[in-house]
Amino acid sequence: MIKQILLILLGIFFLLNGLNHFLNSKILEEYAEKRSLLASKLMIKLSGILLCFGGITLISGFYLLYGIIGLCIFLLIASVTIHKFWGLENREIMMLESMHFAKNWA
């Protein structure tokens, strides 16, 4: 019972973040371009799809393994391509990016 509730809450978290990729795509595209992500517009849409799919699978329990794999792929790629804190000079931005990096790995 607790496991189901936690999976649903985690699924809602990822689903809302995936929807955010579509609703605020312009802001996220600018952010991705600042981080030198190739094909940022396409990558924002693909990551939104992965996040929504992963969130829905966690909420529903259907195709759970595929959803978890999709989320892991997204989090791995986002961590090393977007949240590259090790190459930043501004201490405040470095700290924020390192927190996002750690959050993705957690």
Please count the structural domains in the chain. 1
In order along its 106 residues, the chain shows pLDDT tens digits of: 899 999 999 999 999 999 999 999 999 899 888 877 888 899 899 999 999 999 999 999 999 999 999 999 988 888 888 877 787 788 888 888 888 888 888 8
Length of the chain: 106
Question: How high is the pLDDT of residue 46?
Answer: 92
Beta strands in the chain (DSSP E): none
- Which residue range is the domain that position 62 belongs to? 1-105
Give the 3-state secondary structure of residue 6: helix
Beta carbons of 54 and 16 less than 8 angstroms apart: no
Q: Look up the pTM and report it.
A: 0.85
Residue type present at position 98: S
